[in-house]
């Protein structure tokens, strides 16, 4: 077969791409930030992710003997659409490097750096959702953590306190979760899961959660937080920017989400003006929150 054993100019972009693919496969598991433990992944086949929240029917009503049945409806609470973003990291190999056969030494470095850039970025984008938890509005018109989330059936529900991290603060947050209202106005049934803290609070969080007795108290009382296991795990997150803010996640579905459109993909082409080869690695996704009941948070006192 003609050219079957040759490396031609036309082959080089593809060889570079295949080489990068191997490196990306090798390095893709080298860094996984804690965001992957907190966020759920959802797939989308479009350039956006759309969610619809429905309100249920509320409490059942008593039917007296001989009386007619009553009717209720399932109402739409909100519809929200998030566009998918593209994130990339590219590298350029000069014509001279290719001509001098130096590109082979560059492939491992380029692949490693591209994999690192994409992995760190994904964790950064997930952390950004919590970093904006008290300021950026979501589908219901409120920030992720707010004291007045509107309930479709009427009234509001809160998922925030304004306290520094402490035994009392965590207990109040757990009580808030027990009082979460669903869109139909009924009490939800969510459980608390992980305590997410910035690196500055990791040791204080450990003392509060894992002590069998009350912290900083002369009383010989048990720690209700430890006894009831209301915190399953402490997750320090280096990318949280507020040194006082902390969060407790719940087992609510479709809360903190990563909508993935396309996984890590590579492409390569030749720049016609310089004859350089450009190799690009990219992925398409979007991080956001849909249901605020997935978390309860405090910005600190």
Break the chain into its structural domains and give their ranges: 12-56+73-131+262-287, 149-257+291-298
Question: Residue 244: helix, strand or coil by DSSP?
Answer: coil
User: Which pLDDT does position 6 carry in this prediction?
Assistant: 35
**CATH T-level topology, domain 12-56+73-131+262-287:** Major capsid protein gp5 fold (3.30.2400)
User: Which pLDDT does position 53 carry in this prediction?
Assistant: 73
Torsion sign across C-alpha atoms 160, 166, 170, 172: negative
Residue 270 has pLDDT above 90, yes or no: no
User: Which pLDDT does position 209 carry in this prediction?
Assistant: 95
Q: Which of 262, 209, 198, 203 is nearest to 236 (CA)?
A: 198
pLDDT in tens, 215-264: 777 777 888 999 899 999 999 999 999 999 999 999 998 899 999 998 88
pLDDT in tens, 62-71: 878 878 877 7
CA dihedral 150, 77, 294, 131 (to 10 degrees): -70
Helices (H), the chain: 12-27, 35-38, 95-99, 103-131, 167-178, 202-210, 224-228
pLDDT in tens, 114-136: 888 888 999 999 999 999 999 99
User: Which pLDDT does position 88 carry in this prediction?
Assistant: 92
What whole-number distance in Å separates Cα of residue 91 and Cα of residue 206?
42
Which of 3.90.660, 1.10.3470, 3.30.2320, 3.40.1130 is the CATH number of 149-257+291-298? 3.30.2320
Q: Which residue has the higher pLDDT, 62 or 19?
A: 62
Q: What band does 7 get if pLDDT is binned at 50, 70 and 90?
A: very low
Q: What band does 20 get if pLDDT is binned at 50, 70 and 90?
A: low
φ/ψ bin of 283: left (φ > 0), alpha (ψ from -120 to 50), beta (otherwise): beta
239 - beta bridge partners?
none
Residue 24 has pLDDT above 70, yes or no: no
Q: What band does 10 get if pLDDT is binned at 50, 70 and 90?
A: very low
What whole-number distance in Å separates Cα of residue 295 and Cα of residue 111?
36
Cα→Cα distances 172→116, 218, 300, Å: 39, 21, 13
What whole-number distance in Å separates Cα of residue 264 and Cα of residue 98?
25
What whole-number distance in Å separates Cα of residue 172 and Cα of residue 236?
21
- Mean pLDDT of the 82-97 span: 87
- Mean pLDDT of the 168-179 span: 96
- Mean pLDDT of the 82-102 span: 84
% of the chain surpassing 70 pLDDT: 86
Considering the entire predicted model, what is its pTM?
0.83
């Amino acid at each position: 077969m003609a050219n079957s054993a040759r490396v031609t100019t036309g082959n080089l972009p593809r060889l570079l791409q295949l080489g990068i693919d191997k490196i990306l496969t090798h390095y893709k598991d080298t860094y996984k930030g804690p965001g992957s433990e907190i966020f759920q992944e959802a797939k989308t086949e479009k350039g956006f992710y759309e969610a619809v929240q429905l309100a249920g029917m509320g409490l059942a009503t008593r039917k007296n003997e001989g009386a007619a049945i009553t009717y209720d409806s399932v109402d739409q609470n909100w519809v929200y659409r998030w566009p998918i973003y593209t994130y990339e990291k590219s590298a350029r190999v000069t014509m001279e490097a290719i001509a001098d056969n130096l590109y082979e030494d560059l492939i491992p470095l380029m692949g490693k750096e591209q994999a690192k850039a994409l992995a760190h970025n994904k964790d950064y984008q997930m952390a950004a959702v919590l970093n904006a938890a008290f300021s950026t509005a979501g589908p219901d018109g409120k920030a992720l953590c707010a004291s007045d989330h509107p309930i479709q059936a009427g009234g509001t529900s809160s998922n925030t306190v304004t306290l520094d991290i402490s035994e009392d603060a965590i207990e109040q947050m757990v009580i808030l979760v027990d009082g979460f209202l669903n869109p139909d106005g009924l009490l939800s049934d969510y459980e608390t899961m992980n305590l997410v803290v910035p690196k500055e609070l990791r040791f204080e969080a450990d003392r509060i959660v894992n002590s069998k007795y009350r912290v900083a108290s002369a009383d010989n009382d048990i720690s209700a937080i430890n006894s009831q296991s209301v915190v399953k795990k402490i997750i320090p997150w280096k990318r949280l920017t507020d040194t006082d803010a902390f969060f407790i996640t719940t087992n609510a579905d479709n809360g903190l989400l990563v909508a993935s459109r396309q996984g890590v993909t590579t492409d390569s082409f030749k720049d016609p003006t310089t004859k350089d080869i450009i190799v690009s690695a990219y992925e398409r996704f979007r991080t956001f929150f849909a249901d605020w009941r997935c978390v309860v948070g405090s910005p600190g006192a």
